[in-house]
Structure 1
Amino acid sequence: MKLMRVGPAGSEIPAILDAAGTVRSLEGMVPDIAGDVLTPEGLARIAALDPAQLPAVTVDRIGPCVGRVGKFLCIGLNYADHAAESGLPIPEEPVIFTKTTSSIVGPDDDIQIPRGSTKTDWEVELGIVIGKGGVYIDEADAMDHVAGYCVINDVSEREFQIERGGTWDKGKGCDTFGPIGPWLVTRDEVADPQALSMWLEVDGHRYQDGSTATMIFPVRVLVSYVSQFMSLQPGDIISTGTPPGVGMGQKPQVYLKGGERIRLGVEGLGVQTQNVRPAL
């Protein structure tokens, strides 16, 4: 299934994309694409519905594909070739940081350059959406805890992240820095999350062109690893890292200033398009 949320920001309704590409409302069937709706039992109830019997909706805006996200967790340097372009060693264990949930926006919403930014950057990533909660999850059981996957642009301000002291978080959690969607694609529709092509373009120039096959720590390892340090709940998101081609890795470096148009996608999970607005 391809689940989504459509409508004005803050007033999105749950929806499903049918096999013909028609968006159909799930309003009245589920409260939101969030929380317990993402558990195996919740997804089974949606799967039992006949999309043809659901009303078609006109889409003016696609919202974030998951509502009321509890934790927005990210994995740093999870592609060997991206670590190399960053001049950093391959991690021996996954690097975990967080993005604020207030950074989350729809897949085609504008990105706002923050005040004082000199190095706003892009990162196409595969997002894991948790469906079954748990803690101390065994790797052998990890995939049972995944509701599905989505596209994420892990927008990052590199000066804030690297040069301003402290942790990475201050360069990762600015408003609009977390576009997710357009869809949450349920796990049954993704045969192998470690074999998905992914790409990102700025103003038509392709900077990133990679594959989840080059992840250092695959999905099952990440779900298990993160759960050793915190419980995971339905609707939590883990963004799994980016392949090479970020602005920081260009020679010379290239950063967003405002006025650019970004397009990015992950195979089978849809495409995002964002206009970049200059700082207020």
Structure 2
Amino acid sequence: MKTARVVFNGAVHTATPAGVGLIRLDTGRVLEERDVSWLPPVEPRTAFALGLNYADHAKELAFKAPEEPLVFLKGPNTFVGHRAQTVRPADAAYMHYECELAVVIGKTAHNVPRAAAYDCVRGYTVANDYAIRDYLENYYRPNLRVKNRDTCTPLGPWLVDRDDVPDPMNLTLRTFVNGNETQRGSTRDMIFDIASLIEYLSSFMTLSPGDVILTGTPEGLADTKPGDEIVTEIEGVGRLVNSIVSETDYYRAG
């Protein structure tokens, strides 16, 4: 099952697919996708993000693959929904997308062995975790300005139930900039797979329902500019559409 959270006529609704370009609200009303404002399909509680979790991406950035997960946290201010705008700072020289499979935790988990890790998963969604390369202190310790800026992480459109994604470690990821494919990879190339990440994180802290793990991005990054439309797509999970806007236009009064 796929579910989304949307705003229509000032109220938040749960929505499900109702055909090409259509959604069905929890009231039963069917609307065009563009008739609603999309929220992230879950409200992330604690959000974990992975650095350099694909070997090809680490190589692309001239770094050795990490020996243990490189994890940092993201604030709730970072998340926006499907068809939302992401602000590019005026002083940014290189701002790139990061297509990532997001894992949503469904129950309390502590000291979870790898073999039981998927029992803790509620479902999956698509994340696009933008980064400004010139703001990085280094790729092992991303600073707050890189990964905790307002609007920097579109999430959605759908939360797909765990059982509807039988092999999350064999999904194709693709990114398109203005209709041109610029990134293609597969979740099978993660250095630390989903089960390993859940085992690792739950070994020193308790995971809770609503926690989200962003699992990293493969190689194939490109700069994005105001006016660009970015589509991040994961096989069997969804197609997340987002656009880039300048600070001047985003914060324009009125």
- Normalization by structure 2: what TM-score? 0.89
Cα shift readout 1:119-139 (whole Å, capped 9, x = no counterpart): 211110000001011122111
Quote the Cα distance in structure 2 between the aligned partners of 1:77 and 1:196: 18
Out of 155, 178, 192, the residue aligned to residue 180 of structure 1 is 155
SS in 2 for 1:7: strand
Instruction: Look up the match of 1:227.
Output: 202
Q: Do 1:78 and 1:217's aligned partners in 2 also have CA atoms closer than 8 Å?
A: yes
In percent, how many aligned pairs have the same letter? 38
Shift of 1:214: 0.6
Asked if 1:206 is matched to 2:161, the reply is no
RMSD: 2.3
Shift of 1:271: 0.7
Shift of 1:21: 7.6
- Which runs of no fewer than 5 residues in structure 1 stay unpaired? 27-53, 248-254
Instruction: Look up the match of 2:42.
Output: 66
Shift of 1:62: 2.1
Deviates more, 1:259-268 or 1:115-124: 115-124
Shift of 1:97: 1.0
Aligned length: 245
- Normalization by structure 1: what TM-score? 0.81
Out of 25, 28, 43, the residue aligned to residue 55 of structure 1 is 28
Q: Do 2:5 and 2:39's aligned partners in 1 also have CA atoms closer than 8 Å?
A: yes
Instruction: Look up the match of 2:4.
Output: 4
SS in 2 for 1:171: helix
Asked if 1:117 is matched to 2:85, the reply is no
Instruction: Look up the match of 1:41.
Output: none
Q: Do 2:18 and 2:30's aligned partners in 1 also have CA atoms closer than 8 Å?
A: no
Q: Give the 5 Å matches for 1:145-184.
A: 145-162=120-137, 167-184=142-159
Q: Which amino acid aligns with 2:29?
A: A
Q: 1:25 to 1:204 in 2, by over 3 A?
A: closer
Q: Do 1:196 and 1:267's aligned partners in 2 also have CA atoms closer than 8 Å?
A: yes
Instruction: Look up the match of 2:233.
Output: 265
Asked if 1:97 is matched to 2:77, the reply is no
Cα shift readout 1:93-113 (whole Å, capped 9, x = no counterpart): 111012221010002101111
Q: 1:21 to 1:115 in 2, by over 3 A?
A: closer
Greater fraction strand: 2
Instruction: Look up the match of 2:23.
Output: 23
Q: Do 2:86 and 2:243's aligned partners in 1 also have CA atoms closer than 8 Å?
A: yes
Asked if 1:129 is matched to 2:91, the reply is no
Instruction: Look up the match of 1:40.
Output: none
- Which runs of no fewer than 5 residues in structure 2 stay unpaired? 249-254
Shift of 1:167: 4.0
Q: 1:136 to 1:115 in 2, by over 3 A?
A: farther
Q: Do 1:258 and 1:279's aligned partners in 2 also have CA atoms closer than 8 Å?
A: no
